[in-house]
Amino acid sequence: MQKSLKSRDNELAVTNKQLEILNGGIFADGELPYFKDKINEIGQFPLRPKKLEILQINVGYMCNQVCEHCHVDAGPDRKEIMTRETMLLCLDIIRNTGAHTLDLTGGAPEMNPDFRWFVEEAAKAGIKDFIVRSNLTIIRANKKYYDLPDFFKKHNVHVISSMPHYTRGKTDKQRGDGVFDKSIKALQELNARGYGMPESGLRLDLVYNPSGAYLPGDQMALEADFKKALKEDFNIQFHNLFAITNLPIARFLDYLIASENYEDYMYSLVEAYNPAAVSGVMCTNTISISWDGWIYDCDFNQMLDLKVASKVKHIKDYNEDIINDRNIIISQHCYGCTAGAGSSCQGTVA
Amino acid sequence: MADSYYNSADLRKFGKITEWSEEIGNKFFDYYGKVFEEGALSAREKSLIALAVSHVVKCPYCIDAYTKDGLQKGITKEEMMEAVHAGAAIESGATLVHGVQMMNKYNKLSM
């Protein structure tokens, strides 16, 4: 199994090195425009938040998979896990936030030993949409996770699962050997509980992200292909497919550089820049909280350790009004969220 | 002189052809964009046709562009290779069907 950048002592495990690459090279020498200059052309710089709608909490970087494209650099060797003490601070925020959606992510969020407790407590807070981003295979990884589909159902959790392709080869290439078969089994189990069925209130959405140095195609066309293939081949149903662009950070950046695709990929992102997508980027309606309680504009900025530009940077000092009155930190990775129809954790935005 | 007649980075500059002939350059790109929209054929089907034709006209830029386009559209490598064979079959058929002309001429000239 592949290892995280961190455990390999890869130079990109240092976030400053990633930022140096994103700010240098073809951008520094003027071949491509800085993201800041592009959004300045449409009067969107500095980028400002709108109403906070989504609270995204990353409960830890530990994962049972080591996907080639992972922007978190997650894996079994990552020990950064949110403690119950930090979760208690998060619960205070959840009870008082103006956001309507709670989005739990990781790593594999289910691997946090306090995950079930946290879900139960957060569910009591009565948030409207309660999302868990599950990699699917965790449900089949160990007996102690076999009850997860029932647990999700009990708390009416909205499950969003990664599924890079409806063929075994492409899925396993990106996410590891055997991932496709385990994912199919997990999806069938979720379907058996009513998840993803047409009239069901139990929402099951899939996330597609390209298995290589190219951008995702049309979300609706991909969704139609996925629905047809998964239904015909495995009798699996789901609600929506979210097409997400891979952002050039962490392991995906490492892949782009190692495969000599970095410059072409950045050209593709800049060429596909869509000014109409800028006002809908997720950092304008989301904040991201890390395992240790720091606050970021998005999960990508979290992985680049770009904390919010606000006097409130940690949840122990949380104040939603102060946090919402900030400028969003941007760099060239942000082109990933404005390419084509745009990209966010909820799929396209334009 | 360039080291090679083909440079993959030149594909990025394709749009620049309008700089030396703006009106007809723009007309071409408008037409091109329209052709590849969803129509009676899906954008997916058109992408596979374009990939096959790219091979037949032996355009390295087009091959790069439509391999990437196919990946973006979720087209599998098996589908892509079948499209290439479809193009190759027509191209070789176009050669072989001239064999009839050769046979006709042979027969006409022979006693």
pLDDT tens string A168-219: 988 888 888 889 999 999 999 999 999 999 888 999 999 999 989 999 999 9
User: How many CB atoms sit inside 10 A of residue B5's CB?
Assistant: 8
Helix axes A250-258, A262-271, angle to 10 degrees: 120
What CA–CA distance (Å, rounded) separates A140 from A30? Answer: 49
CB spacing of B43 vs A218 below 8 angstroms: yes
Confidence class for position A343, pLDDT limits 50, 70, 90? confident
Chain A environment of B44 (Cβ under 8 Å) = 221, 225
A-to-B residue pairs, Cβ atoms closer than 8 angstroms: 29
Residue A347 scores a pLDDT above 90: no
Q: Which residues have CB under 8 Å from A210's CB, separation 6+? A: A164, A216, A245, A246, B71, B72
How does pLDDT run across A95-129, given as a tens digit for each residue? 999 899 999 999 999 999 999 999 999 988 878 88
B42:A216 CB<8 A: no
pLDDT of A283 over the 70 cut: yes
Q: What would the mean pLDDT of A78-96 be, rounded to a whole number?
A: 95
Q: Mean pLDDT over residues A340-345, rounded?
A: 86
Question: For an interface test with A, which of B38, B42, B72 has the most A Cβ atoms less than 10 Å from its Cβ?
Answer: B72
Q: Are A329 and A308 in contact (CB under 8 A)?
A: yes
Q: Which two tokens stand for residue A301?
A: 């900025």
pLDDT number for residue B1: 52
pLDDT above 80 (res A64): yes
B68 contacts chain A (CB < 8 A): yes
Lowest-confidence segment of A160-174, A194-208, A243-257, A271-285 by average pLDDT: A160-174
Pairing of strands A158-162, A204-208: parallel
**Mean pLDDT, consecutive 10-residue segments, chain B of 111 residues?**
81 95 97 95 96 98 97 94 98 97 95 89
- pLDDT band at residue A228, thresholds of 50, 70 and 90? very high
Q: Does B42 touch chain A (CB under 8 A)?
A: yes
Q: What is the pTM of this model?
A: 0.90
In this predicted structure, what is the pLDDT of residue A348? Answer: 83
Question: In B, which residues are within 8 Å of A226 by CB distance?
Answer: 74
Cβ of residue B26 closer than 8 Å to a chain A Cβ: no
A222 contacts B74? CB cut-off 8 A: yes
* B positions 74-103 inside 8 Å of A (CB): 74, 76
Which chain B residues touch A221 with a CB distance below 8 Å?
42-44, 73-74
Among partner residues B12, B73, B76, which is closest to A221 by beta-carbon distance?
B73
Taking the Cβ of residue A167 and every Cβ of chain B, the question of whether any pair is shorter than 8 Å is answered with yes
A45: its two tokens: 């710089």
Nearest to B45 by CA among B33, B36, B54: B36
Q: What is the pLDDT of residue A175?
A: 85
Q: Are A251 and A67 in contact (CB under 8 A)?
A: yes
Q: Is ipTM > 0.85 here?
A: no
Residue corresponding to tokens 């009239």: A199
- The pLDDT assigned to A3 comes to 85
> What's chain A's average pLDDT?
94
Residue type at A284 in one-letter notation: T
Which of B42, B44, B71 has the CB atom closest to A212's CB atom?
A: B71
Q: Which residues of A touch B68 (CB under 8 A)?
A: 214
Three-state secondary structure of chain A: CCCCCCCCCCHHHCHHHHHHHHHCHHHHCCCCCCHHHHHHCCCCCCCCCCCCCEEEEECECECCCCCCCCCCCCECCCCCECCHHHHHHHHHHHHHCCCCEEEEECCCHHHCCCHHHHHHHHHHCCCCEEEEEECCCHHHHCHHHCCHHHHHHHCCCEEEEECCCCCHHHHHHHHCCCHHHHHHHHHHHHHHCCCCCCCCCCCEEEEECCCCCCCCCCHHHHHHHHHHHHHHHHCCCCCCEEECCCCCCHHHHHHHHHCCCHHHHHHHHHHCECHHHHCCCHHHCEEEECCCCEEECCHHHHHCCCECECCCCEHHHCCHHHHHCCECCCCHHHHHHHECCCCECCECCC
Predicted confidence at residue B10, as pLDDT, reads 92
Residues of B in contact with A271 (CB under 8 A): 12
Nearest CA in chain A to B73: A217
Q: Hey, which of A2-16, A304-318, B4-18 has the most confident mean pLDDT? A: A304-318
Which residue of A214, A219, A228, A246 is the best one to mutate when testing the B interface, meaning the one whose CB has the most B CBs within 10 A?
Answer: A214
Is A25 an interface residue toward B (CB < 8 Å)?
Answer: no
Residue A334 has pLDDT above 80, yes or no: yes
Q: How confident is the model at residue A345 (pLDDT cuts 50, 70, 90)?
A: confident
